[in-house]
Amino acid sequence: MKKNLLVLLGILILIFTLTMPVFARAGGGGSSGGSSGGSSGGNSVSHHTDSSGTTRSNPIGAFIQLVILATVASGGSIVFIKKARRANKRSHRTMRALAQIEENWNPNEIQRQVEEAYFQIQECWRRMDISYGAPYLSEELQKDFDTKIQWMKIRNEEVVQENVKLLNAMPIAVIDEEGEEKDTIWYLIHGKMTGYYIDKNTRLIVRGKRRPEAFYEYWKFIYRNKRWVLSEIKQKNEMDIDSFA
């Protein structure tokens, strides 16, 4: 019996280890957890084999591949931003119309609360103290954050965040239901920071990198106790911007 419990505990530890946050921003990179969000194609290198059987790098081929990848990525980003802006315009029109009959849909007040929440929630993650961010998080997300934070403490880890910025925050989907408690709004968050995890004793980096990283995330807000609180974070690659049309 004791052996079975130890095995079960070992499995649970392994599961949590594999799903530990990679990014040092709030939530550790959202529900995707261990995904870095990058494309493996970015590391591809072109090779050819000479007559002696030795494999050599082909710098021209590698350069061409990098140019193609950069062009595709750039084109995809332009399309993404255009779709986000269209969704933003639709959302603002809807919010202005709803604000005429429901006070919780005031666009300026919602924007203020979202921007405030962004920085407070990041600070909550940096401090690894769920009570600091509680006023800005739904009960479900508080539990999710706290679980991740407790496991980081068990692993003797500490969050480092530097130069936390909010580059843009735009509403892209508005859902108005009967009763304020069912109202929902999705925001596209464009942020930037330098974030990583260190071992408390050695002060060495255990996850993440000491360099600035810009990112897009979808933040879902719900209305609770007369304010908008964050209830879910999704990464850009976890949802299709078209789904908000």
pLDDT, tens digit, 9 for 90 and up, residues 174-219 = 999 887 888 999 999 999 999 999 999 999 999 999 999 999 999 9
Question: Does CATH number 3.40.50.150 belong to domain 63-244?
Answer: no
Band of residue 29 on the pLDDT scale cut at 50, 70, 90: confident
Tell me the angle at which helices 107-127 and 139-154 cross, rounded to the nearest 10 degrees. 20
Structure tokens at 161: 């965040």
- Compute the distance between CA of residue 186 and CA of residue 122 in angstroms, rounded to an integer: 18
pTM summary value: 0.76
Domain ranges for the chain, please list them: 63-244
Who has greater pLDDT, 20 or 83? 83
Who has greater pLDDT, 19 or 35? 19
- CA distance to 29, 32, 172, 233, 240, per residue, from 236 (Å): 10, 10, 13, 10, 8
Q: Which ranges in the chain belong to alpha helices (H)?
A: 2-18, 59-99, 107-127, 130-133, 139-154
- Compute the distance between CA of residue 76 and CA of residue 169 in angstroms, rounded to an integer: 20
